[in-house]
Structure 1
Amino acid sequence: MTGKHTWAIPEGYIPEGSTGPEPEMRSHESLCVLNTADEEATVEITVYFPDREPVGPYEKTVPAERTAHFRFDEFDDPEAIPEGEPFASVIESDLPIVCQHTRLDSRQAENALLSTIAYPGE
């Protein structure tokens, strides 16, 4: 198995506004997860804000030997992630996984894409 049980993304922001076709070109943050184990991984995501209590966990599953992409703008349980507000997230998994953070900012016709590996914890 490849990866760690805990990951952190200290920078998060869902831009307000978008250009281009919905939903694929809507501005968003995403968490890309790789599970190389031979069993399903259970992932919990807690979201932190600068001015209020954390929200979560948001529970996700990643099938065995697969990758999954989760868009923060589609999180709704326990509550939606607000647009236009900075946030951070901590990802915890019952199995070792690898996490990557990606943002699509389509507020302008010239889209911007940012992607980086998340910070591996334990």
Structure 2
Amino acid sequence: MIGRTRWAIPEGYIPETSTGPEPEMESHETICLLNAGDADAHVQVTVYFEDRDPAGPYELSVPAERTRHVQFNDFEDPEIPRGTAFASVIESDRRVVCQHTRLDSRQAENALLSTVAFPGDS
């Protein structure tokens, strides 16, 4: 089985503005989760800030043998503030692979960043 049950993304930032048609070109942060296993994965995302208490955990699931892309922009109660640096820890009851992607469309020359998150020891 591939993946880990704990991942960290030490860098996060949702730009306050976007250029281009929404929702396709809206600036965002995304976690891409792969569950290659034979059972659904139940995932919790906790978001950390420089100057306030953590937000979450936000709960979601990834069906067996599927992938799921989740935008931090869509987290509610509380909403992740735009224009604020943050980090996150992703914990799952099953092994998953986690990738981090950002679309920064504040200007017409868009920037896309993607990297595999830091895997925990579990």
Q: Same fold (TM over 0.5)?
A: yes
Partner of 2:57: 57
Counterpart CA distance in 2 for 1:111 and 1:60 is: 29
1:52 counterpart SS class: coil
1:19 counterpart SS class: coil
1:94 counterpart SS class: strand
Residues 76-95 of structure 1: pairs in structure 2 closer than 5 A: 76=76, 78-95=77-94
Partner of 1:106: 105
Structure 2, unpaired ranges of 5+: none
Counterpart CA distance in 2 for 1:16 and 1:29 is: 12
Give 1:46 deviation, angstroms: 0.1
Number of aligned positions between the proteins: 121
Partner of 1:73: 73
1:93 counterpart SS class: strand
Taking structure 1 as the reference length, the TM-score comes to 0.98
Runs ≥4 residues deviating over 4 A = none
Residues 34-45 of structure 1: pairs in structure 2 closer than 5 A: 34-45=34-45
2:68 counterpart SS class: strand
State the identity %: 68
Which residue identity is paired with 1:113? L
Structure 1, unpaired ranges of 5+: none
Partner of 1:14: 14
Deviations 1:88-120 (A, max 9, x none): 000000001000000000000010000000000
Counterpart CA distance in 2 for 1:2 and 1:93 is: 13
